[in-house]
Chains A and B, each alone.
Chain A
Amino acid sequence: MSNNTTRRRSVKLLTAVAALGLVGVTAACGSTGSGGSSGGGGTKAGSNGGGKTTITFMEAMSSGALKPAMQAQVAAFEKKNPNIVVNLEPYADYGTLTAKLKAATSAGDPPTLAQVYSSDAAAFASSKVIMPLDSFPNEASTASTFYKGIQNDLKLSDGKTWMWPFAKSTVIMYYNTAMLKSAGQPVPTTWDQFATVAKAVSTKGVTAISIDPGSSSAPAGGTAWFEILCQANGTPAWTADGKPQFDSPAAVKALTYLVDLKKAGALAIGSNYPGQIALGAQKGAFDISSVASYYYNSAAVGKKFVMGTAALPTGPSGPANQLAGGNVVMFAKASKAQQDAAWKFLSFMTTPAQQAAWSTASGYLPVTSQALPLMSSFLKSHPYQKFAAESLEWAQDTPPYASVSETQGDLALGLQAALGNGKDPAAALKTAQANAMKHMNGAQ
């Protein structure tokens, strides 16, 4: 009897607690909380109180001069558009940004805007989570003011504009002026001349250039340089429709060139910006890197010597360069108000005045030539900005296909095999090509 009573009481108690718990959970689910989305069409931020529209921007401008430069752009925009709030979500690097962005999208909680590479934009577009920008007011007329290379970089294979330019850069050559002078060597203007100079200065513990090909998951600057060399030799590393051609004669020639430099003690491989570290430590004479590295290279060099900058040397097929840095995409889940606000923000960011301000503060290149006259004093102290910006007219990005980032990883491994582990260049590239084709054919 008493046992039954106890059991009944226990069941009642359990039921009451379960009911309370359920109410609590339901209430929690129904509440958006202070940080929840409200009326934003499911995106991370929406229309908050007082008729303001909030947009979220996931980007990788988190270090050095980049973070304050980005914050200044947002502050200027919000001052001009008091009804729009831009929430920046900076991440440490592109890899982290991409992982976080894809996780947020996967969870159904994407931002309004995000910085992406073109290969990722292709994956987002085919998954129908981002939207084309063609229908926004003045899209075509604004885009027509950009450098040609930038214009080409905004479209995917369907010909629609899916991206808007953001942190754009090209690759330039940094060098130790004192080291070249003392060796009696000129600033090289062709890749053949570069090899001669590199070998000449590689004495007394100096290795002319250090590169990082990166890894399968994160190809780095060394791979980008190789891709530029392929282009300079007449055959890009990928066809325009994204098919790898890593074993082309141009590619074999490019890798043989790098391997020969290594054998001559003029090239070393490393990780974590080895070119910048070696240049700063006066153990390297050159660094082949993006203009975005300027501030970091300057900091590494300090007052030890005068750091020179020059356009990349040319190859048998003329000048070649690669667009670096990301574009911005807009997520389809954003509300109409957010989309309009986001477009206003993107348009504002690419006005000549803002481009001049952005380039001066961040070191990235202005995407329109109309910005150059507005930054004349900056160009005097940073002459590389002009020739680098002008290369945006013809520089190419990797083709905008989702498979490119994966096949680029195969290429990085091929370069590591030849440069790090002594594999024959042709054999290493043949393996890289075979692996890339395997990925292309969706063997996995």
Chain B
Amino acid sequence: MSVAARRPRRAMNSPIAYFFVLPALVIFFVFTIAPTLYTAFISLFNWNPLNISQSKFIGLSNYKNAFAGQANPSFWDTAKTSAYFVVAMVVLGPLLALLIALLLQRGGRLMSAARTATFLPNVTPLVATSLVWMWIFNGQFGLANQVLKVFGIGGPNWLESNTWAMPVVIFVSLWHELGFIAIIILGGLTTMSSELSEAAKVDGCNVFQEFIHITLPQLRPVMFFVVVISTISSLQAFTQFYTMTQGNFGTSTLSYEIYYQAFVVYHTGYAAALAIVLLVITAVLSILQFVLNRTRD
């Protein structure tokens, strides 16, 4: 007992331990911490990326401009667009994935093949599949409208419409992400204790009651994890917007706007300020979710 307690303490006191974690720390610092600090530094400047010596210190002006909504689209517009996307992904994603996972829970060869098929979209490169979906939703020549035409419905210009562009991007994002989330939930389902379910059945629980009172509470840690990673990945989503809409027709999210400001119009300082704001939003939302989860516990 005492030996077991002493070992970790000795390991932590040894300089060799730090030596072993040093490579990981160096990589983390060089590729994550240092760029973040540098981004925060740039956000205080009217930054000229082509000639840094021409950059001027302007304090918090980039942040003031963002919150004053002076850009076009404004920070608040892009934040609303991000919220639209994040809410849709975080609500629909885990919900649909849970349904899929429950369906795939049963064994058998067919289900095994179905699991693979469900996961398959997630291993495809998003940029490539976004291009394919872009053509499927092409207003003039796309498959979607050809199918609708069979039923006598004239489809819209999906990706050139303020009404439809975002729902299409959400649909494609869900198609890509659902498999991954479903597999995580499926993992949670398979590790659950069957004793509670059996006891509930003995006590006369129907399938719905068993799901609500037995399955779902046990799945809470997994669902919490899924919600957190869905929130973070949705806030950072970029590829599908870049490929399918280029931030037009009401799809200019905060992430896309950072790219646009940084790499299209080269307002690097302003883009850095937006990146820091996005970092803070992501951190706050994640912490909030952790706190809420802990409070429930």
Chain A positions within 8 Å of B, measured between CB atoms, are 6-7, 10-11, 13-14, 17, 99, 102, 105-106, 123-124, 127-129, 207, 210, 215-218, 268-272, 274, 277-278, 281, 283, 405-406, 409-410, 413, 416, 420-421, 435, 438-439, 443-444
Q: B16 to nearest A CB, angstroms?
A: 5
- Taking a contact as CB atoms closer than 8 A, the residue among A128, A218, A277, A416 that contacts B141 in the complex is A277
Whether B248 and A123, one on each chain, are in contact in the complex, defined by CB atoms closer than 8 angstroms, is no
CA distance A150 to B216 in the complex (A): 70
- Taking a contact as CB atoms closer than 8 A, the residue among A127, A210, A215, A406 that contacts B246 in the complex is A215
Q: Given known contacts A127-B51, A281-B141, A439-B72, is B247 in contact with A217 (CB within 8 Å)?
A: yes
Q: Given known contacts A215-B248, A420-B161, A444-B70, is B49 in contact with A106 (CB within 8 Å)?
A: yes
Q: Given known contacts A123-B50, A283-B140, A421-B162, is B264 in contact with A217 (CB within 8 Å)?
A: yes
Q: Given known contacts A129-B50, A215-B247, A406-B265, is B270 in contact with A420 (CB within 8 Å)?
A: no
Going nearest first, the 5 A-B pairs with the smallest beta carbon separation are A127-B50, A215-B246, A127-B51, A106-B49, A217-B264
Closest to A215 in B: B246
6 residue pairs of the A-B complex, CB under 8 angstroms, read A11-B15, A14-B15, A277-B140, A278-B140, A283-B140, A438-B72
Q: Given known contacts A217-B246, A443-B65, is B157 in contact with A420 (CB within 8 Å)?
A: yes
Whether B72 and A269, one on each chain, are in contact in the complex, defined by CB atoms closer than 8 angstroms, is no
- Taking a contact as CB atoms closer than 8 A, the residue among B19, B140, B162 that contacts A274 in the complex is B140
Query: Inside 8 A of A129's CB, which chain B residues have their CB?
Result: 50-51
Whether A124 and B50, one on each chain, are in contact in the complex, defined by CB atoms closer than 8 angstroms, is yes
Any chain A CB within 8 A of the CB of B121?
A: no
Any chain A CB within 8 A of the CB of B266?
A: yes
Chain A contact residues: over half helix, strand or loop, or mixed? helix
CA distance A420 to B125 in the complex (A): 30
0/1 interface trace, chain B 13-55, chain A, CB 8 Å (1 if under)? 0111001000000000000000000000000000011111010
Query: Inside 8 A of A271's CB, which chain B residues have their CB?
Result: 134, 138, 159-160
Whether B19 and A14, one on each chain, are in contact in the complex, defined by CB atoms closer than 8 angstroms, is yes
Any chain A CB within 8 A of the CB of B263?
A: yes
Whether B14 and A10, one on each chain, are in contact in the complex, defined by CB atoms closer than 8 angstroms, is yes
Q: B133 to nearest A CB, angstroms?
A: 13
Q: Given known contacts A268-B139, A269-B160, is B15 in contact with A123 (CB within 8 Å)?
A: no
Whether A270 and B160, one on each chain, are in contact in the complex, defined by CB atoms closer than 8 angstroms, is yes
Query: Inside 8 A of B248's CB, which chain A residues have their CB?
Result: 215-216, 413, 416
B interface, size bucket: 35 or more
CA distance A416 to B249 in the complex (A): 8
Query: Inside 8 A of B162's CB, which chain A residues have their CB?
Result: 421
Query: Inside 8 A of A105's CB, which chain B residues have their CB?
Result: 49-50
Closest to A406 in B: B265
Any chain A CB within 8 A of the CB of B267?
A: yes
Q: B59 to nearest A CB, angstroms?
A: 16
Closest to A274 in B: B140
Whether A128 and B139, one on each chain, are in contact in the complex, defined by CB atoms closer than 8 angstroms, is no
Query: Inside 8 A of A13's CB, which chain B residues have their CB?
Result: 16, 19
Q: A205 to nearest B CB, angstroms?
A: 10
CA distance A337 to B97 in the complex (A): 62
Closest to A130 in B: B50
Whether A17 and B19, one on each chain, are in contact in the complex, defined by CB atoms closer than 8 angstroms, is yes
Q: Which of the listed residues B16, B51, B71, B248 has the most CB atoms from chain A within 10 Å of its own CB?
A: B248
Whether A10 and B249, one on each chain, are in contact in the complex, defined by CB atoms closer than 8 angstroms, is no
- Taking a contact as CB atoms closer than 8 A, the residue among A14, A127, A410 that contacts B72 in the complex is A410
Q: Given known contacts A217-B260, A271-B160, is B71 in contact with A444 (CB within 8 Å)?
A: yes
Q: A290 to nearest B CB, angstroms?
A: 21
Query: Inside 8 A of A413's CB, which chain B residues have their CB?
Result: 248
Closest to B62 in A: A444
Query: Inside 8 A of B138's CB, which chain A residues have their CB?
Result: 270-271
Whether A420 and B249, one on each chain, are in contact in the complex, defined by CB atoms closer than 8 angstroms, is yes
0/1 interface trace, chain B 144-179, chain A, CB 8 Å (1 if under)? 000000000000010111100000000000000000
Whether A127 and B157, one on each chain, are in contact in the complex, defined by CB atoms closer than 8 angstroms, is no
Query: Inside 8 A of A207's CB, which chain B residues have their CB?
Result: 140
Query: Inside 8 A of B72's CB, which chain A residues have their CB?
Result: 410, 435, 438-439
Query: Inside 8 A of A281's CB, which chain B residues have their CB?
Result: 141
- Taking a contact as CB atoms closer than 8 A, the residue among B50, B141, B260 that contacts A102 in the complex is B50
Query: Inside 8 A of A10's CB, which chain B residues have their CB?
Result: 14-16, 19
Whether B263 and A99, one on each chain, are in contact in the complex, defined by CB atoms closer than 8 angstroms, is yes
Given A106-B52, A409-B265, A435-B72: 8 more A-B contacts, CB < 8 Å: A10-B15, A10-B19, A210-B140, A217-B246, A272-B134, A420-B157, A443-B65, A444-B65
Query: Inside 8 A of B267's CB, which chain A residues have their CB?
Result: 444
Q: B106 to nearest A CB, angstroms?
A: 43
- Taking a contact as CB atoms closer than 8 A, the residue among B54, B161, B270 that contacts A127 in the complex is B54
Closest to B159 in A: A271
Q: Which of the listed residues B19, B140, B159 has the most CB atoms from chain A within 10 Å of its own CB?
A: B140
